[in-house]
Amino acid sequence: MERFESLTGIAAPLLQANVDTDLIIPKQFLTTLVRSGLGRHLFFEIRYDRGGLELPEFVLNREPFRKASILLAGPNFGCGSSREHAPWALRDFGIRCIIAPSFADIFFNNCFANGILPIPLSLPDVEALAEIEGPLTVDLAAQIVSGAGRIWRFEMDPGRKATLLEGLDEIGRTERSLPAIEAWETGREGQRPWL
């Protein structure tokens, strides 16, 4: 899995509340059989007009945000469908970090599996970050976001932090517990034979 240590980049503000995964990547792109290539369809419905041309007012169509690697988002970001196509599309576009007041559970989990760091910060903090011109720096080890001479600390679960810092292969890690899994299954068979 991809590692995440630190990042300095452009932060694009998209502060509307309840941005759902249908909006991040709509259904017509879910028939793909691969993980890559979804970046150009990211936010499709609000990024392009009905003729397929870019909407100039949409943030990711404007300079300098076309090259954003950080997204500043509103509360409950990533709600709705469990589709991992949403983080795939964000990652493929170049987003490595999302800062929002809150995230939907499944989306939050899906980020870590794709080398994206989701950072919960309060709405006033996210709004303050959106006011900053120029790049932001995110340091996962120190759990700090900084920009324009100011710093913000964020909370992060130590397990998730380690996963990103070390780029751990989660499945490989679980496979190391195979003896425990087998023992558990054997015990279970005796107790709950119908399963």
Measured distance CA(126)–CA(120) in Å, rounded:
9
Nearest by Cα to 191 from 183, 177, 175: 183
Q: Does 188 bind another protein (CB under 8 A)?
A: yes
Is there binding between residue 194 and another protein (CB under 8 A)?
A: yes
62-101 footprint of another protein as x/- string (CB under 8 A): ------------xxx--xxxxxx--x--------------
CA distance 31 to 27: 8
- Distance of closest approach, residue 50 Cβ to another protein, in angstroms: 8
The side-by-side arrangement of strands in the sheet containing 97-100 is 11-14, 70-73, 97-100, 117-120
Please tell me whether residue 116 binds another protein under the rule CB under 8 A: no
At residue 116, the 3 state secondary structure works out as: coil
CB of 61 to another protein, least distance (A): 18
Interface pick for another protein out of 2, 105, 166, 189 (rule CB under 8 A): 105
One of 90, 110, 118, 119 touching another protein (CB under 8 A): 110
Tokens 């502060």 — which residue? 15
For another protein (CB under 8 A), the number of binding residues is 58
CA distances from 148 to 105, 131, 135, 170, 188 (A): 31, 10, 8, 36, 57
Q: Which residues bind another protein (CB under 8 A)?
A: 15-18, 20, 22-23, 26-28, 30-35, 45-46, 50, 74-76, 79-84, 87, 102, 104-106, 109-110, 113-114, 123, 157-159, 162, 170-171, 173-175, 177-178, 180-181, 184-185, 188, 192-195
